[in-house]
């Protein structure tokens, strides 16, 4: 299937690693032009160089920006639009990952929740607000927000709050921007195998006394397929949702989690 993304102008935040980088790789494979966005300039340049090395004719830009700073976001988007004449795709993936067991209520601080919300929810809002005028002016665009399966399960107060908020943001953006030809979706990844996973597994093993194999087994056991999700599996779904082929999918969230055991969602 031709996803009709050849030449598309895409911005991927959180694009220096993890899901963001995998999505960028998928978009490049479909012929899209991609701007990687992240705060760490060195890691960002390394990621961009890797994409160019893998696909020598790829049009890849690396633009350092902080999504918690509205001025930084607007400057980044304006720069992309000036360089390429517009923006067709935004993938919001810049968020602080969960690095361990969620703190108990008594240990959870206002600052932790506020930082989660500012980076993920308000960060996504800032980026969407900046690209929206470019997309509605041209009458087309796709925004995909990387949320998380905590939106559909308990276990992390902050994680659930921020991911439910992303789903709510997604639906509101879809309703407001739909008349201008812009579709907005969310994706809920489950436990995903990224470059951060080995360190996370090792930390949990050290904290619990389990072996790393046992930790991986417990993570996988939460899914219907009894395994972690490959980052490329998430990226494949996101890239499809970025394409004109997914034009009728908007305002909703898609779970890419190998199945959420014990949950009925409709």
Residue 197 near residue 157 (C-beta atoms within 8 A) = no
Which pLDDT value is given to residue 100? Answer: 62
Residue 177 near residue 132 (C-beta atoms within 8 A) = yes
Rounded distance between C-alpha atoms, residue 134 and residue 155, angstroms: 39
The candidate with the shortest Cα–Cα distance to 141, out of 92, 182, 90, 86, is: 182
* Chain segment 116-128, per-residue pLDDT in tens: 899 999 999 999 9
Q: How many other CB atoms are there within 10 angstroms of residue 135's CB atom?
A: 24
In terms of Cβ atoms closer than 10 Å to its own Cβ (0-12, 13-18, 19+), residue 22 is buried
In terms of Cβ atoms closer than 10 Å to its own Cβ (0-12, 13-18, 19+), residue 195 is exposed
Domains along the chain with CATH numbers: 9-256 (3.40.50.720)
Residue 41 near residue 61 (C-beta atoms within 8 A) = no
3-state secondary structure of 35: strand
Place of tokens 């160089």: 49
Q: How many other CB atoms are there within 10 angstroms of residue 169's CB atom?
A: 21
- pLDDT tens, N- to C-terminus, the chain (266 residues): 899 999 999 999 999 999 999 999 999 999 999 999 999 999 999 999 999 999 999 999 999 999 999 999 999 999 999 999 999 999 999 998 765 677 888 888 999 889 989 999 999 999 999 999 999 999 999 999 999 998 998 888 988 999 999 999 999 999 999 999 999 999 999 889 988 888 888 888 888 899 989 888 888 898 999 999 999 999 999 999 999 999 999 999 999 999 988 888 77
Residues 6+ apart with CB under 8 A from 60: 24, 28, 33, 34, 35, 36, 48, 51, 52
Residues 6+ apart with CB under 8 A from 17: 38, 43, 47, 194, 195, 196
């Amino acid at each position: 299937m031709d996803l009709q993304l050849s030449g598309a102008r895409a911005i991927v935040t959180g694009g220096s690693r993890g899901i963001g980088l995998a999505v960028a790789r998928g978009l490049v494979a479909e012929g899209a032009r991609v701007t990687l966005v992240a705060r760490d300039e060195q890691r960002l340049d390394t990621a961009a160089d890797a994409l160019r090395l893998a696909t020598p004719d790829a049009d890849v830009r690396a633009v350092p920006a902080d999504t918690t700073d509205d001025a930084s976001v607007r400057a980044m988007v304006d720069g992309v639009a000036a360089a390429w004449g517009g923006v067709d795709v935004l993938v919001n993936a810049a968020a602080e990952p969960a690095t361990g067991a969620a703190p108990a209520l008594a240990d959870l601080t206002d600052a932790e929740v506020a930082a989660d919300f500012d980076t993920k929810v308000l960060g996504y809002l800032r980026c969407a607000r900046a690209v929206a005028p470019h997309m509605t002016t041209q009458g087309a665009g796709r925004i995909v927000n990387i949320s998380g399966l905590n939106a559909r399960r308990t276990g992390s107060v902050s994680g659930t709050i921020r991911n439910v908020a992303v789903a709510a943001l997604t639906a509101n953006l879809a309703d407001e921007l739909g008349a201008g030809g812009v579709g907005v979706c969310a994706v809920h990844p489950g436990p995903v195998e990224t470059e951060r996973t080995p360190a996370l597994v090792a930390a949990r093993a050290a904290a619990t006394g389990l072996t790393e194999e046992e930790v991986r087994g417990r993570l996988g056991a939460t899914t219907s397929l009894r395994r972690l999700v490959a980052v490329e599996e998430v990226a494949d779904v996101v890239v499809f949702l970025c394409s004109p082929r997914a034009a009728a999918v908007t305002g909703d969230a898609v779970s890419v989690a190998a199945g959420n055991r014990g949950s009925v969602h409709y």
